[in-house]
Structure 1
């Protein structure tokens, strides 16, 4: 049964070409194999100093947890990733049976966001200097022997699918950056507030301008972004502007 599900999952992965495709595939096809409830993925460049994380993809995973475990340098500090880096083997973690050396503060945050029954794995592509990381949570149970066998086949498929999806996202970002570069500093500020759901009146108070001035800026923003209405600006800005993490890693 599991073998058939993995085969179907592998075939379905061939149709993953975007972040939206990747999220749907991990929910529907990978979900049938691992039966997880949420997933956090990392994509980064392998350098002489380690891995530089440039993208994080969340699938039904609480962004609040990532904010909670950011370290002072703005990086994501997780013992699951550290253990994988030390062993290069799948990592299993159950909240009810934590590792003896686990940090109590981290564990409290992990439990608060209900990230129980976790399995994490990663893959380094040394030839192309790309690394990916996958952290699955809320599995119904943890069976290391069975999961080892499953991930041996599944992780390379996850890696290839995520790399394709990130490549597509980067192409979209390049196109979007052309529009962003045409905005003035004030226009960008107003667009960011629109992306955060602020009304024209609220933005006027925040930027110290009249509401009519904000409307004038909005008209110019729509022209430069190629958006036909305010809702289009909000979607564009929320997708392409500042990362919710202080390091600036793109969260998709």
Structure 2
């Protein structure tokens, strides 16, 4: 980290807000929303791979949160702790003596297939005291096509303790609520069985439209919109409209920048 980089007043305010709101994050969908809102001002990204130590497997188990499309092979590399990509990133982090570090995946010294899709990434993690090779968590942030400046390295250094604690709390909460171990590997290519009409409605829900407004846009009744939304909630396992949108984005059912066409 460049010690000459200073935290601007605007970023200091964003840091305080991110820390304060992290305490309310307990579910996976809340974590995704937190990444895309509070952390995004400090760590702009479209892909985040977050890993926590899985005691059963004795290794990190990763989940991938994305707001843009990536090739399935790249997503599988990000979700697999033993892939050449993740092993290479952990290796570079250790070479940096456990500090946040930017890694250019197009570097000839890194024979990683993910280079063209991700470009440069910034990584950081938490290891056990006096045991740098034993990781408790590890995080990878990417925004393909965008450079990663030294200020982002500073931001990740400052955010890491809260990012670590928040993600581990989410894992513990999800395990307790589901009464089963957390997933050992995310399934990037999995898509919920949402119809094209339901996907259109989700897009307008994300834009804050009411049932009445969505019905007028799509030429259907508000009651029909309501019925579609109830089906969407059941299919995605969501309890409300905001959660449904967040889950749809994480599962590639709905892209962050995509607005469904009006028929």
Under TM normalisation by the shorter chain, which class is it?
Answer: 0.5 to 0.7
**Larger % of helix: which?**
1
Contact 2:48-2:142 within 8 A present in 1 as well: yes
* Matching residue of 1:123: 126
Distance 1:81 1:176 in 2: 24
**Residue 59, structure 1, aligned to residue 66, structure 2:** yes
Q: Deviations over 1:97-121 (max 9, x none)?
A: x434111xx24x331x3x1231111
Secondary structure of the residue aligned to 2:59 is: strand
TM superposition score normalised by structure 1: 0.57
TM superposition score normalised by structure 2: 0.55
Distance 1:17 1:69 in 2: 23
Q: Deviations over 1:145-197 (max 9, x none)?
A: x23322221011100110110001111231699xxxxxxxxxxxxxxxxx975
Match 1:102 to one of 107, 110, 115: 110
Distance 2:233 2:48 in 1: 28
RMSD (Å) for aligned C-alpha atoms = 3.7
Match 1:92 to one of 102, 105, 112: 102
Uncovered stretches (5+) of structure 1, i.e. residues with no partner = 178-194, 198-228, 237-252
Distance 2:180 2:58 in 1: 26
Shift of 1:45: 4.2
- What pairs with 1:8-87 in structure 2 (closer than 5 Å)? 8-45=17-54, 52-60=59-67, 62=70, 64=72, 65-67=74-76, 75-78=82-85, 79-86=88-95, 87=97
Greater radius of gyration (CA): 1
Shift of 1:130: 6.6
Distance 1:19 1:70 in 2: 16
